Amino acid sequence: MNCAEWQAQINSFADAELTPRGTQEFRAHADECRECASAALAAMETKAAVRRAGKRCTAPPELRARLLLQVQASSDTAVRMTSPKANVVNWPRSAVAAAAMILLAAGLFFLASRERRPNALGEFADLHVSTLASANPVEVVSTDRHTVKPWFQGRIPFTFDLPELQGSPFTLTGGRVTYFHQEPGAQLIFAEQKHLISAFIFRDTPQLAIPGEAFADRGTSFNLQTWTQDGLRYVLVSDINTAALKQLADLLQHY
Amino acid sequence: MAVPLLDPLFNFARWLTHDSVEAEDLVQETFAKALRGFGSFVPGTDFRAWMFRILRNTFLTSRTGLQVKLTVPLDPDDDRLATVTWETPESLALVSATRDALQAALEALPVHYREVVLLCDVEEMKYAETAEVLGVPIGTVMSRLARGRKALRQILADDKAATGGKLDSTR
């Protein structure tokens, strides 16, 4: 590929929309090409600058209050939504009541999904602990990624890639099949000196929609890192510090 | 009770309409429509994209939106990736631009570019999600994004040339 073709990929690179392989190839090219590297850097800085500049205003409290009134008005026989330019809408009582229920349900849905985050992560921490407590923490004992990865064939309904760990502080200990909300997935155990790290890999389902990337479970003092990649949800759990966990996450993301 | 997405939706509405009062109306109408049409939302799918899509469609049928629609140039909206050159001075103009200059440049951007840049960069939506909001293929999102960002860099570079680099001194 020539530089023009690489540069056509810069937006996708800055938007993290390239495949892991594509990202790796792009990085490899940028390592050698000063022009493409500086263009990619400019694109990423621009994205960050637009993000900061684009977050310009929050909803005025009056609007928030009006939206809430919209719900509370459900006890009236009809709601007259008046706004300077919008049409006047008359709603029959039943429709308004239904609408109020739906908004409440939507609110609860969101509260529930917010609640789910710590819960889901807590469950991963539990899985990690119960694995370590087990007499047989791993089903396939091997430090060789070319042994561990094929072992999962036919045991889980997807495949994943493992990075070369040579030269990193991490070693692969082995892996096992695990379940989360009735979904089979892979649990890989990595070691960093005496610390053990669980890497959970599942198909990304709405139940696993965890916003954010890094979490610290205060109650158990575990650190967690999570991300999605190629339709898979990765969750790392360990007692090692956040920076080290991030390092392993980076390795897994850019194998 | 929490009204999730209110701030992002309002922010986006404000960028679309250029006007705070109009943005408030737009958000209020969006929520009203969402309530009425909640049955058409498929649980498990992207709720945020669904809300943004309602807001954008509502905007396009509003008075300002109709004006915008009429003035949208027939851009070459093909799915092929736009060939974009990365002129270094322009890229640098963007990086060194102040927040005010960047906001002015975003305001000046045609709305069909502005919306795609905002969804991708400010809301940090993936291409697939942005495509869902705009109701266009992913390839169109990518080509519009490339053209939009290029136009943004151009506006800032022109800006900077016009003010003789004074923007730097205000930082």
Strands A89-90 and A195-203: what pairing? unpaired
pLDDT (0 to 100) of residue B167: 45
B46: contact with A, CB 8 A cutoff: no
Residue B35 burial (10 A CB sphere; 0-12, 13-18, 19+): buried
**Are the C-beta atoms of residues A186 and A152 closer than 8 Å to each other?**
yes
A97: contact with B, CB 8 A cutoff: no
Q: Is A182 left (phi over 0), alpha (psi -120 to 50) or beta?
A: left
With CB atoms and an 8 Å threshold, state whether A47 touches B85: no
Radius of gyration of chain A (CA): 24
**Section B99-125 average pLDDT:** 92
Dump pLDDT digits (tens) for A110-133: 655 554 455 677 788 888 888 888
Q: Report the alpha-carbon distance of residue B9 to residue A22 in Å, rounded.
A: 33
What ipTM does the predicted assembly reach? 0.81
A95: contact with B, CB 8 A cutoff: yes
Dump pLDDT digits (tens) for B34-46: 877 777 777 777 8
| Short-list B104, B93, B98, CA closest to B15 | B104
Confidence of residue B141 (pLDDT cuts 50, 70, 90): very high
**Are the C-beta atoms of residues A178 and A185 closer than 8 Å to each other?**
yes
Confidence of residue B127 (pLDDT cuts 50, 70, 90): very high
Instruction: Return the number of other C-beta atoms located less than 10 Å from residue A15's C-beta.
Output: 21
Dump pLDDT digits (tens) for A158-169: 888 888 888 888
Instruction: Name the closest residue on chain B to residue A94, using Cα atoms.
Output: B36
Which residues make Cβ contacts (< 8 Å) with residue A228, sequence separation at least 6? A204, A234
Instruction: Tell which of A1, A5, A15, A90 to mutate to test the B interface (max B CBs under 10 Å).
Output: A15
With CB atoms and an 8 Å threshold, state whether A55 touches B122: yes
A1: contact with B, CB 8 A cutoff: no
CA distance B116 to chain A (A): 12
Instruction: Tell which of B10, B21, B35, B48 to mutate to test the A interface (max A CBs under 10 Å).
Output: B35
Residue A73 amino acid letter: A
Handedness of CA A137, A141, A145, A148 (dihedral sign): negative
CA A60 to chain centre: 30
DSSP 3-state of B170: coil
B49: contact with A, CB 8 A cutoff: no
Which residues make Cβ contacts (< 8 Å) with residue A42, sequence separation at least 6? B86, B88, B91, B92, B94, B95
- Tell me the whole-structure pTM to 2 decimals: 0.55
Stretch among A70-79, B98-107, B124-133 having the lowest mean pLDDT: A70-79
With CB atoms and an 8 Å threshold, state whether A54 touches B152: no
